[in-house]
């Protein structure tokens, strides 16, 4: 299944920790991200590389004012501070897997928004430029 559609996202430390410890990647539903089979995580400075990926096992839609929120207000404030009151989409993830070869930003290109590729392309890339 390595050829699966992969969403490459830029994440801060808190969002990466949630992926590693809780197996989730969350974002405001208004971002309108497309279906994907995997999520690959680009980590900014000082790392500056795509370092890990995980399979998407379930997609959960959550209103900000639900009493049974999967995300609490602290999560929302740290993951997407300008949109804490919006509905969220949560990807429940499988095991976070470290890439054998992290995909470096190469000093010229980095992930600022999102990018879609297949997982095999991510695994084979040496630099972000290889994915452009």
pLDDT of residue 68: 56
CA dihedral of residues 26, 22, 110, 85 (deg, nearest 10): 20
Measured from the Cβ of residue 58, the count of other Cβ atoms closer than 10 Å reads: 11
Per-residue pLDDT of the chain (132 residues; tens, 9 = 90+): 456 888 888 888 888 998 999 898 888 887 877 788 999 998 877 888 889 999 999 988 877 666 556 787 778 888 888 887 888 888 999 999 999 988 888 766 556 667 788 899 889 888 888 888
Q: What local confidence, expressed as pLDDT, does residue 107 receive?
A: 66
Whole-Å CA distances, 112 to 11, 42, 52: 9, 9, 17
Predicted pLDDT at 1: 46
- Point out which residues pair with 1 in neighbouring strands: none
pLDDT at site 55: 94
pLDDT of residue 112: 64
Place of tokens 């900000």: 64
Structure tokens at 94: 């499988």
Helix or strand (DSSP H, E) at 78: helix 73-79
pTM: 0.83
């Amino acid at each position: 299944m390595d050829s699966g559609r992969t969403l490459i996202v830029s994440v801060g430390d808190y969002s990466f920790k949630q992926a590693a410890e809780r197996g989730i990647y969350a974002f405001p539903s208004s971002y309108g991200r497309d279906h994907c089979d995997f999520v690959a995580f680009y980590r900014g400075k000082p790392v500056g590389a795509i370092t890990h990926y995980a399979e998407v096992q379930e997609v959960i839609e959550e209103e900000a004012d639900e009493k049974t929120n999967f995300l609490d207000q602290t999560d929302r404030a740290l993951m997407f501070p300008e949109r804490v009151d919006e509905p969220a989409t949560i990807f429940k993830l499988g095991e976070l897997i470290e890439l054998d070869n992290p995909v470096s930003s190469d000093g010229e290109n980095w992930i600022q928004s999102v990018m879609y590729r297949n997982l095999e392309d991510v695994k084979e890339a040496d630099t972000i430029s290889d994915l452009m």
